[in-house]
A and B are shown apart, each in its own frame.
Chain A
Amino acid sequence: MVEAATVAAAAPIFGDAGLKALGAAIAIAGTGIASAWAEKDIGSAAIGAMAENEALFGKGLILTVIPETIVIFGLVVALLVSS
């Protein structure tokens, strides 16, 4: 652990490792915001529909979680970049 810390401190941010980590971070952050944004609208509409008819819970849940795939893609990209 100590060795890793000194290496990280010595290495420049825009070196190979740093850029990889930044790329992974951007992939996660961007896709996270994107799916949150998409789910926000769908989720509020789904809650509205459920207030009218509770039987719509299943369909509401499905529609709400569809954009989640975006962040999963982001995760995969991040792991591929950083590994």
Chain B
Amino acid sequence: MSRPKRMTKAIIVGHKSILKVTVDALHDSNLFHVEDFIEDESGFKISKPFQNAEEVSRKLVKIRSISNFLGIEPKEPAVQKADSVLRELDTKLNQLDRSISEKSEMISKCETDLKDLETQKRDLLPFLSINLDFDYYRGYDNLKVFAGSIKGNLEEGQISSITQAYELYYDPQAKTVVLFVAKKDADRVQEVLQKLEFRDLRVPERGGIPSELLKVTEQNEADASRQIESLRKEVESMKSQYADFLLASDEILSIENQKAELPLRIATSQNAFIIEGWVPSDNYDKVVSTVNSATSSRAYVTSLEIEEEEEEEGHVPVEYNNSKPVAPMQEIMDLYSRPKYTEIDPSSILLITFPLIYGMILGDIGYAIILGAIALAIKKLVKSDAVKPLMNILLYCQISTFIFGIIYGEFLGFPLASMHAEGETIPGLIPGWDTVTLFSGLAGEQFTFPVHRTHMIMTMIGVCLIVGLLHLNLGFILGFINLSHHSMKHAVLEKGSWMIIELGVLVAALGYFGGISGLTYVGAGILVLGIVMLTMGEGIKGPIELPSLMGNTLSYARIIAVGLSSIYIAGTVNDIAFKMIWPDHSQIGFAAIAAIIIFILGHALNTVLSIIAPGLHALRLQYVEFFGKFYQGGGRKFNPFGYIRKYTEE
């Protein structure tokens, strides 16, 4: 149980001549959360960006557009010296820019050529079987040339009936007609052709035999495609050659850009600047000494009192203060909402309760091993910072699942220990391991070890509700602590009253079922007292919410309900595979292979479900039932002015 890191509000004041060194020092320290200045009546104004800002952002835009063109993605960093990258930046960038634009121009030229060739080819195709040089199609004084396509069929007799002076080329397959007639007959011939829906075709302007032209065009097309291919390859090789440079310079310029634009976020007058912000209290001295040494003590740094109002209204940025094993649970917190500065950060409690409930739901040695191995493998293979915490959470959950797997004695839906109940024997996987009856549970069931969940549903519901009550009361206690920092009276009336009500119900129930009527009245008295306190604490809304306590507790019945659904899916897969498809285990043949395939597919499906269903339900029990008792959230993220370098170093 921890609270967010304590913060100190600090201001740094100095002459504008030392602004740049101050900004550099603050940025390097990566500890100072700059509070944006909003112009008001005080006479201070935000300043202009540093002089180099324009140049830096121009280069940054160029670098990012090149990276985008080359498709560069973040990768395993090869750390480079910042100053050497910076020295080469201009020449390398210009060179890169030039060759990229050259290449992309050439590519687009080739692509246009390719399109032209495509059109030429399309024009050629109808004339392919008419082996006539295109130069013969034009340049006549007394001849008319019809070159086009028709629908229907052309009989040579239709033309010869008009005139004898003609030359006809007809391709009945492509329906292409090339007809030479004397000009004086042209009108009549056209009439005939028009009946056949004659349409002019464009005659290619180049002379030559169609089939030869086609060959040349296809040759050119292949050349152009090859050229595009080789240009693309060159771009690809540039990508691998310049990836490191681009990533490193992007990082350096992003840093420069952040620094250059800081003056837009701070208050300045004619000659002075004021930077206001937050530092984790532990690091305050470090920030002071960094700024002092950078400016030879010419800047004035001081801490300010944090007003209570600021704390309450969530102005103070919140940074988690957790040990390394707890850190992954912060993801679950951020998914809901970051804690407020004034409240308890429940990450370390989630470290126990979340895997505990997940494990209670799933509770299977087989799935724990499979999912644990998957989580470890993904953690090893994927180097993403976003994935790692999630895999750690999954690992925590699998440890708990493994432990509950032993308690439940389950392996991929098979019971490990054999069980004798109601005259029948359910065999287990491990011969010789029998379930031991410990004591009798609810509704005539026997509480056994290992716990056979399918045979003691009512008892397990009881166990789950008890777990739920404990979990809820932990929430009330945390709420009590949160409020008691504010005012003890509120804490007792708003959160303590719930526990008193529970105590009253418990005492009354003990009295009623134990047959001690005196105790029943005492319990009822405590209950009434609790309700009165609750009404004083939360007003009329308190008693109205009383039934929610029952709803919240019953909600924990989902632990066994979701768990049972998982067992039944696994058990059904096992039954289909080993009882229905392959009942005779001595025979190895087609049935055995089919059974194994069904077994693997079925359990693969259930493995995926085993992440989603228990995960979501465990999460919900934390968010709705548990957090509802104490947690507010809504804290502002502590976002220090700085940059975590990945590809470069000073």
Q: Which residue numbers of A lie inside 8 Å of B, CB to CB? A: 55, 57-59, 61-62, 65-66, 68-69, 72-73, 75-76, 79, 83
Contacts and interface: CB of A to CB of B under 8 A. Distances in A.
B620 A73 contact: no
Interface residues of B, number: 18
B623 A69 contact: no
B554 interface: yes
A9 B561 CA distance: 29
Nearest to A70: B551
Contacts of A75: 557, 561
A12 to B, nearest CB: 24
Contact of B443 (A68, A69, A83): A83
Interface string B424-448: 0000000000000000000100000
Contacts of A69: 551, 554-555
A72 B620 contact: no
Contact of B554 (A57, A61, A72): A72
B69 interface: no
Contacts of A61: 616, 619-620, 623
B20 interface: no
Contact of B461 (A55, A59, A73, A76): A76
B558 interface: yes
Nearest to B552: A69
A62 B624 CA distance: 6
A81 to B, nearest CB: 12
Is chain B's binding surface mostly helix, strand, loop or mixed?
Answer: helix
B557 A65 contact: no
Q: Which 8 A-B pairs have the closest CB atoms?
A: A58-B336, A58-B335, A65-B620, A62-B623, A62-B624, A83-B443, A69-B555, A75-B561
Contacts of B558: 68, 72
B624 A72 contact: no
A79 B335 contact: no
A55 B334 CA distance: 8
B557 A72 contact: yes
A68 B551 CA distance: 11
A25 to B, nearest CB: 16
Contacts, number: 44
B458 interface: yes
Interface in B547-561: 551, 554-555, 557-558, 561
Contacts of B616: 61, 65
B461 A79 contact: yes
Nearest to A83: B443
Contacts of A57: 335
Nearest to A82: B457
16 contacts: A55-B337, A61-B616, A62-B624, A65-B620, A68-B558, A68-B620, A69-B555, A72-B554, A72-B555, A72-B557, A72-B561, A73-B551, A75-B557, A76-B461, A83-B457, A83-B458
Nearest to B620: A65
Contacts of A83: 443, 457-458
B557 A76 contact: yes
A76 B458 CA distance: 9
A72 B468 CA distance: 14
Nearest to A55: B337
A79 B554 CA distance: 13
Contacts of B461: 76, 79
Given A72-B557, A79-B457, 8 more contacts: A58-B335, A61-B623, A62-B620, A68-B620, A72-B555, A72-B561, A73-B551, A83-B458
A58 B623 contact: yes
A83 to B, nearest CB: 5
B558 to A, nearest CB: 6
A75 B624 CA distance: 19
A79 B624 contact: no
A34 B624 CA distance: 20
Nearest to B623: A62
A69 B624 CA distance: 11
B494 to A, nearest CB: 21
A73 B557 CA distance: 9
Given A79-B457, A79-B461, A83-B458, A66 B624 contact: yes
Nearest to B619: A61
